[in-house]
Amino acid sequence: MRLFENYSLKNYNTFHIDVTAKKFVELLSIDSASSYFASNNDPSENILLIGSGSNILLTQNYEGTVIHPNITGIKVIHKTDDFVLVESGAGVVWDDLVTFAIENNYGGIENLTSIPGTVGAAPVQNIGAYGVELKDIFHSLNAIEIATGERRKFNLEECEFGYRDSVFKNELKGKYVITKIVLRLSINPELNIDYQAVKEKINERDSENLSIKDVREIIAEIRNNKLPDPQKYGNAGSFFKNPVVVSDKLEELQQSYGDVPHFVVDYNHFKLPAAWLIEKAGLKGKRIGNVGTHVNQPLVIINYGGASGNEILEFSKFIQKEVKNKFAIHIMPEVNII
């Protein structure tokens, strides 16, 4: 364990906002994490969990303690003829876990390639992309209760996964630190290639007998073409969630705009791409000062350099207002705003 005071968080958020934490604690092992929380149980202490900071917007200095779980290691803990259980420390870079799986031909995770962030943050957000969510391959996770230092295991049901949501964003927010997760991956994977952009790229390649490695390469190519490199332009990936509307609202939009892209949630609810709404509102590539939407993917808000967290927040509110005025649809942030 390592502890710092008045510590800069610029390297711990992908917007590159230079704010400080009053106290910064890096956890390097499960034992040290458990011991730290068992002996530091001040109920008045504000605690913020940060992995790589790829899904947060920091708008001010943090007058509390930032916990940075940096527990590493990937290993197989169980294997059958059909599936394998892979355990990963919370501090592992998510895409390194994807690489481990692909290299060993363990399937189910390939659609989640190139998603920034660490393994420990993945269950909090129930990360998802191209027709797959973490919950689809999730087995369990281990966590430590911040108030007591006690260790607890959570199964799939206990995590209460939803669309970009989990119990760790709601009633257990700020109460547990995830230390490791276990994924259930397939030995004989069935490819999930129904997403339209993936189909189009497969057709371009004229590919046959696709492997999980091929699917990963295709999705990585799509993402790299659409999403800016956070090292060049500060961003947190998709800033907004895709809104869900009822069938009457979808029909209303179709009358005005023709073929509206959508995904079926159930018989009366449909998910709309927030990127489509932002683009139709004339905000693709929109820039105000040092903040703007990306020219290829308007769902991504970019810090072109020097913008404060509050500038980015105000720009996001401007996007929300313009979309609401045009469509009467409120798009919600996917990014956690601190």
- CATH number of residue 258's parent domain: 3.90.78.10
Same domain (yes/no): 130, 34:
no
- Could you tell me which residues come within 8 angstroms of residue 70 by beta carbon, excluding any fewer than 6 positions away? 26, 27, 28, 90, 91
Within-domain flag for 213? no
Closest CA to 71 of 34, 27, 38, 35: 27
Same domain (yes/no): 285, 306:
yes
How high is the pLDDT of residue 205? 75
Same domain (yes/no): 63, 81:
no
Point out the domain boundary residue: 25, 49, 69. Answer: 69
For residue range 138-192, what is the model confidence (pLDDT) as tens digits?
999 999 999 999 999 999 999 999 988 999 999 999 999 999 999 999 999 989 8
- Could you tell me which residues come within 8 angstroms of residue 33 by beta carbon, excluding any fewer than 6 positions away? 1, 27, 69, 71, 144, 149, 177, 179
Within-domain flag for 237? no
| CB-side neighbour CA atoms (13 Å) of 88 | 25
Closest CA to 189 of 204, 206, 210: 210
Determine phi and psi for 67, rounding to 5 degrees: -105, 125
Domain that holds residue 322: 244-337
Point out the domain boundary residue: 47, 69, 91. Answer: 69
Catalytic residue among 88, 238, 308, 316: 238
Within-domain flag for 144? yes
How high is the pLDDT of residue 226? 81
Same domain (yes/no): 258, 293:
yes
Same domain (yes/no): 54, 111:
no
For residue range 63-84, what is the model confidence (pLDDT) as tens digits?
999 999 999 999 999 999 999 9
Same domain (yes/no): 170, 81:
yes
| 334: annotated active-site residue | yes
Residue 38 and residue 148 in contact, taking contact as beta carbons nearer than 8 Å: yes
Catalytic residue among 87, 110, 133, 334: 334
Within-domain flag for 216? no
Same domain (yes/no): 103, 178:
yes
Map tokens 């979309």 to a residue. 323
- Could you tell me which residues come within 8 angstroms of residue 172 by beta carbon, excluding any fewer than 6 positions away? none
Alpha-carbon dihedral angle through residues 200, 161, 240, 11, given to the nearest 10 degrees: -100
Same domain (yes/no): 65, 132:
no
Same domain (yes/no): 124, 26:
no
Looking up residue 136, the CATH number of its domain turns out to be: 3.30.465.10
* CB-based burial label for 106 (10 Å; 0-12, 13-18, 19+): buried
**What is the domain count for the chain?**
3
Same domain (yes/no): 140, 92:
yes
Catalytic residue among 164, 184, 216, 223: 164
Residue 55's SS3 state is: coil
Closest CA to 275 of 312, 223, 323, 336: 323
Side chain identity at 273, as an amino acid letter? P
Q: What is the pTM of this model?
A: 0.86
Looking up residue 7, the CATH number of its domain turns out to be: 3.30.43.10
How high is the pLDDT of residue 195? 84
Same domain (yes/no): 78, 155:
yes
Residue 201 and residue 293 in contact, taking contact as beta carbons nearer than 8 Å: no
The whole-angstrom separation of Cα 337 and Cα 333 is 8
Q: Chunked in runs of 10, what are the mean pLDDT values of the chain (338 residues)?
A: 95 97 96 91 83 95 96 98 98 98 97 95 94 97 96 98 93 95 96 86 78 94 86 92 96 94 92 96 97 95 96 99 97 95
How high is the pLDDT of residue 207? 66
- Could you tell me which residues come within 8 angstroms of residue 270 by beta carbon, excluding any fewer than 6 positions away? 244, 245, 246, 247, 250, 262, 263, 264
Same domain (yes/no): 100, 42:
no
How high is the pLDDT of residue 163? 87
Within-domain flag for 194? no
Within-domain flag for 202? no
Within-domain flag for 312? yes
Point out the domain boundary residue: 170, 186, 202. Answer: 186
| E strand segments, 113-188 | 128-129, 132-133, 138-145, 151-155, 176-186
Within-domain flag for 235? no
